[in-house]
Amino acid sequence: MTIPMLDLKREYQSIKNDIDRALAGVLNNAFFVLGENVAAFEQEFAAFIGTRFAVGVGSGMAALHLALRALEIGPAHEVITVANTAAATAMAIAATGAQPVFCDIDERTHTLDPEKLSQKITAKTRVILPVHLFGHPADMAPIVSAARSRGLFIVEDACQSHGAAYRGKKTGALGDIGCFSFYPSKNLGCYGDGGMVTTDDADLADRLRMLRNYGQRGRYEHLVMGYNSRLDELQAAVLRVKLKYLDAWNQKRRAWAGIYHELLHDLPIVLPVEQQDARHVYHLYVIRVTDREGLGRFLKTSGVMTNIHYPVPLYRQPAFAGLTTAPVQLPVTEQCTAQILSLPLFPWITETEIQRVAGLIKKWLSQDQK
C-alpha cells in the first residue's frame, strides 16, 4: 500500500458529476476569460472570506505581486516577510523592485514572530507580509498594531490558509489585502493555476482589476502599466463547485489532524499546535523530528510519501543572493527548517492510512532510539 501526500483523483471522483457539468457549461457557453463564472466566484469568495471585494488573478504569486503594485510598492521600499515560505512570496516582493526583509518565526506555529518584527522595521519599510503557513494564521493582533502605529500596510499571504481564522475573522480579511493561490494542491484548488486578491478597499479593488488586465479600465483605456493575469472561466467554474465543499473538507482535515495527534502525542516528536486565537485548516500536517532524513527515508521505503516545506530558508537560495543587504541569520527559521517533515493529510485520506503512517513512525522511533 502506497500512501501519497495528496490524491486529487479521490477528490475528483467525489464531485465528478458537479465538475463535469460545470466544465461543460463553460464549453457550451464558449466564453473563456473574465466572464460570468469569474464574476460570480469573486462575489462568492468575498462573501466566504468576509471582505467587500475579491479580484480573480492568474496565480498566488500574481496575487502577491499585484497586491504590492496596487499599494505602489517599488524599488525604494522594503517589505518584511519570512524566509520559510514558498519562493513566490519573496519573488513577488522582488518583482516590484522592493527588497524582501526576512524576519524570524515563532517555532510553535512557523509564522512571523511579532516580537522580532520591530527590529526589522526601517524608514524604508512600507509593508508587513505575514504568511499563514501550513494553514495556521500568523499572530495578527500584534502584527496589525505594529503596522498601524507606523502607517505600514499589511498584505497577507493566505495561499495556504483558505478558511483559517484568527479571533473569528478569516485569513485574507485581517489586513489591507489578502492573497490566495488556487494551485491544485491547496485546500481550495483549481485544475491549473489561479489566484485571488481580497480587500475591503474599493480603490484598491479597482486598481487590482486594472493591473490584472493590461492596466485598462475600459476597453483600450490603459491607465497604468499592467499585466495579463486573469482567472479564467474554466478555473472559476471548478472553484465555484469546490467552494461549496471547502468548509466540510477543512473540517475533515481538522479531524484527521486530531487522529494523528491522538496517535502521536506521547512520542519524542513535535506535533503541530493550534493557538488559542486560531482556527487551523491543516493545509499541511508538519511535524518536527531530529533525524528528519532518517524518518523520511524509512517511511518512503514503507510506501509512505512525505515532503519538506521548505528545505532551505529563502535567504540561502541562490536567486536571493544579491537581494539582502547583510547576511541574514534567523536561528528559529534555521532550526525548524532542519527538522520539519510533512506527513500525508488530505480530506480523502482514510483512518487506516493514518494509522499506518502513525504505526510506522512509532516503529521507527522504537528502532531508532539511539
Ligand X SMILES: Cc1ncc(COP(=O)(O)O)c(C=O)c1O
**134 sits near ligand X (criterion: CB under 6 A):** no
**313 sits near ligand X (criterion: CB under 6 A):** no
Q: How far apart are CA 222 and CA 313, in angstroms?
A: 39
Give least dist CB 157 to ligand X, A: 5
Q: What is the DSSP string of 142-175?
A: HHHHHHHHHT-EEEEE-TT-TT-EETTEETTSSS
AA identity, residue 263: L
Q: How far apart are CA 20 and CA 11, in angstroms?
A: 13
AA identity, residue 203: D
Chain residues 89-118 in contact with ligand X, contact rule CB under 6 A: 89
Q: Near ligand X by CB under 6 A, which window of 1-9, 55-63, 73-81, 256-264?
A: 55-63
**340 sits near ligand X (criterion: CB under 6 A):** no
Q: Are 340 and 287 in contact (CB under 8 A)?
A: yes
* Four-CA torsion 254, 258, 264, 270, nearest 10 degrees: 50
For 240, the grid coordinates are 465555484
Among residues 86, 112, 117, 354, the one that binds ligand X under rule CB under 6 A = 86
Question: Between 85 and 171, whose beta carbon lies closer to ligand X?
Answer: 85
Q: Are 41 and 240 in contact (CB under 8 A)?
A: yes
AA identity, residue 206: D
**328 sits near ligand X (criterion: CB under 6 A):** no
**128 sits near ligand X (criterion: CB under 6 A):** no
**159 sits near ligand X (criterion: CB under 6 A):** yes
Give least dist CB 337 to ligand X, A: 15
Give least dist CB 39 to ligand X, A: 21
**88 sits near ligand X (criterion: CB under 6 A):** yes
**83 sits near ligand X (criterion: CB under 6 A):** no
For 327, the grid coordinates are 547576511
For 244, the grid coordinates are 461549496
Question: Between 282 and 298, whose beta carbon lies closer to ligand X?
Answer: 282
Give least dist CB 161 to ligand X, A: 8
Q: How far apart are CA 197 and CA 176, in angstroms?
A: 10
AA identity, residue 252: K
User: Strand, coil or helix: what is 276?
Assistant: coil
User: Strand, coil or helix: what is 117?
Assistant: coil
Chain residues 167-186 in contact with ligand X, contact rule CB under 6 A: 181, 183
Give least dist CB 318 to ligand X, A: 19
Q: Near ligand X by CB under 6 A, which window of 142-150, 154-162, 207-215, 336-344?
A: 154-162
Give least dist CB 1 to ligand X, A: 28
Q: How far apart are CA 102 and CA 229, in angstroms?
A: 27
Give least dist CB 58 to ligand X, A: 8
**127 sits near ligand X (criterion: CB under 6 A):** no
Question: Between 159 and 264, whose beta carbon lies closer to ligand X?
Answer: 159
Task: Give every CB contact of residue 183 below 8 A, 6+ residues apart in sequence.
Answer: 59, 60, 159, 189, 190, 193, 194
Q: Which residues bind ligand X (CB under 6 A)?
A: 59-61, 85-86, 88-89, 131, 157, 159-160, 181, 183, 193, 195
